[in-house]
Amino acid sequence: MGVDVLIFGGGVAGLWVLDELHRAGMSVLLAESRALGAGQTIASQGIIHGGIKYTLAGLLSESARSIREMPGIWRECLRGAGGAGGAGGPDLSNVRVLSEVCHLWRTDSLSSRAGLAGAAGGLRSEVTRLAAADRPPPLVQCPGDVFAVREQVLDVASLLSELSRPHESHLVKVEEPGVDFAVQRPGEVNCVRLAHPAGGSPLELKPCVIVLTAGAGNAELRRRVGLSPQAMQRRPLHQVLVRGRLPLLFGHCVDGAKTRATITSAVDAAGRTVWNVGGQIAEDGVNMDPPALVAHARRELASVLPGVTLAEAEWTTVRVDRAEQATPAGLRPAGPHAKREGNVITAWPTKLALAPQLARMARELLAGAPRRPPAPLDPARPPIAPDWPRPRVAAPPWEEPRDWSA
């Protein structure tokens, strides 16, 4: 079976890399063991960060530098102009943009005042101080200024679906125990055998390069190809979901150099608004059980959103680990990571917003790779493995069965 590149993992990273390599003329197959984006992408808040979170100390940090070009690249792709223009990117014109801006506000604490001033000062542009009449309803009673930052918020399920749709014939569903690697030496894979999940004929592949974009699954995949699983770190989060008749809200409440709460909104299948609450609340929640975290989140939201009543809302929590390149102190890496060892590339984007940069890095790592001459780009290309089941897009955490409390 002739594929140049075999990708493991179909979250935002794997799907963007698939698109990038396909457009570069390579024959690429992506293997997914659960559902597309199951893990971090579907649980994420979908904010296309431009660096605001990383300028809260008033400095342009390395993280802010690495991410500040991203909103422009995404906007081109969301306009459908990514593939045609110089930026090069998928056509995301059918992705649902939930909000064109994120709001930024503060509480009345001293550190909160300083944090907001630092954030506004550290940003280069695209921040507007809102007049009182233009504030979104949940922020009407907030003390101090409210800013609108030009950071879009995406419906990540529609992002996964639009990224995968043009490549459906090049996606396969695999069972984790049904994948066998023939490893010549650490990081040198000769052959990969994929068992058919429904008992059909297996696939025997001899890709020139294997790309691991399996998020938290990368550690085990690395071990199986003879590479150290220690290259990965996990940073846990414990998000809070609140649903009911709530106003839509997208943004960050700033306190010192931290985002005390980051809130994004979705509408669930029953028509209820769901708030996905992260930021410091989700970091604090890591060592709390769900009832303790819900009690903490109730107090925090009452404090960061004065005047908003959540008396009739329902609450639940979701644990999800961020999976990234290991750093010496276990801190957030400054940018995306893609490294080639033998014929294996391991990649973590660190942020959803950084997927375009990660895909470019992966393509550059393939530039010198021995491979067949590129196949011509053909949208009607024949499917690889026509009789294989294709992975579906993961369901958002609020559509999964879970216990909600009043």
Ligand X SMILES: Cc1cc2nc3c(=O)[nH]c(=O)nc-3n(C[C@H](O)[C@H](O)[C@H](O)COP(=O)(O)OP(=O)(O)OC[C@H]3O[C@@H](n4cnc5c(N)ncnc54)[C@H](O)[C@@H]3O)c2cc1C
Single residue of 26, 39, 253, 317 touching ligand X by CB under 6 A: 39
Counting other chains too, the contacts that 66-71 makes at CB distance below 8 Å and 24 or more residues apart are 66/334, 66/335, 66/336, 66/354, 66/357, 67/335, 67/351, 67/353, 67/354, 68/124, 69/357, 70/353, 70/354, 70/356, 70/357, 71/126, 71/150, 71/151, 71/152, 71/353
Minimum Å gap between C-beta 46 and ligand X is 5
Q: What is the DSSP string of 13-24?
A: HHHHHHHHHHHT
With binding defined as CB under 6 A, does residue 353 bind ligand X? Answer: yes
Residues 6+ apart with CB under 8 A from 401: none
HSE-CB of 285 using CA atoms within 13 angstroms: 32
With binding defined as CB under 6 A, does residue 55 bind ligand X? Answer: no
Single residue of 3, 6, 11, 361 touching ligand X by CB under 6 A: 11
Closer to ligand X by CB, 112 or 259: give it.
Answer: 259
How many residues at the interface with ligand X, by CB under 6 A?
40
- Angstrom distance (rounded) from CA 175 to CA 196: 8
Q: Which two tokens stand for residue 83?
A: 């593939």
With binding defined as CB under 6 A, does residue 160 bind ligand X? Answer: no
Single residue of 13, 189, 301, 304 touching ligand X by CB under 6 A: 13
- Using the contact rule CB under 6 A, the part of the chain among 79-87, 91-99, 212-220, 338-346 near ligand X is 212-220
Helix (H) or strand (E) holding 204: strand 203-205
With binding defined as CB under 6 A, does residue 45 bind ligand X? Answer: yes
User: Taken in order 110, 113, 114, 115, is the CA torsion positive or negative?
Assistant: positive
User: Could you tell me if residue 144 is left (phi over 0), alpha (psi between -120 and 50 degrees) or otherwise beta?
Assistant: left
Helix (H) or strand (E) holding 149: strand 147-149
Q: Which two tokens stand for residue 6?
A: 């075999």
With binding defined as CB under 6 A, does residue 50 bind ligand X? Answer: no
Closer to ligand X by CB, 112 or 218: give it.
Answer: 218
- Using the contact rule CB under 6 A, the part of the chain among 118-126, 201-209, 347-355, 363-371 near ligand X is 347-355
Minimum Å gap between C-beta 160 and ligand X is 9
With binding defined as CB under 6 A, does residue 167 bind ligand X? Answer: no
With binding defined as CB under 6 A, does residue 53 bind ligand X? Answer: no
Single residue of 98, 221, 249, 384 touching ligand X by CB under 6 A: 221
With binding defined as CB under 6 A, does residue 350 bind ligand X? Answer: yes
324 CA to centre of own chain: 12
Minimum Å gap between C-beta 175 and ligand X is 9
With binding defined as CB under 6 A, does residue 333 bind ligand X? Answer: no
With binding defined as CB under 6 A, does residue 164 bind ligand X? Answer: no
Contact 62, 350 (CB under 8 A): no
With binding defined as CB under 6 A, does residue 320 bind ligand X? Answer: yes
- Angstrom distance (rounded) from CA 367 to CA 71: 26
Q: Hey, is 65 helix, strand or coil?
A: helix
Minimum Å gap between C-beta 212 and ligand X is 8
- Using the contact rule CB under 6 A, the part of the chain among 27-35, 294-302, 308-316, 366-374 near ligand X is 27-35
Burial grade of 326 (CB within 10 A; 0-12, 13-18, 19 or more): middle
| Closest to 386 in 3D by CA, of 29, 7, 38, 32 | 29
With binding defined as CB under 6 A, does residue 44 bind ligand X? Answer: yes
Single residue of 27, 41, 66, 357 touching ligand X by CB under 6 A: 41
Closer to ligand X by CB, 11 or 136: give it.
Answer: 11
With binding defined as CB under 6 A, does residue 196 bind ligand X? Answer: no
With binding defined as CB under 6 A, does residue 325 bind ligand X? Answer: no
- Angstrom distance (rounded) from CA 104 to CA 304: 11
With binding defined as CB under 6 A, does residue 46 bind ligand X? Answer: yes
Instruction: Enumerate binding residues for ligand X (CB under 6 A).
Output: 8-14, 31-34, 36-41, 43-47, 49, 176, 213-215, 217, 221, 237, 239, 278, 320, 322, 348-353
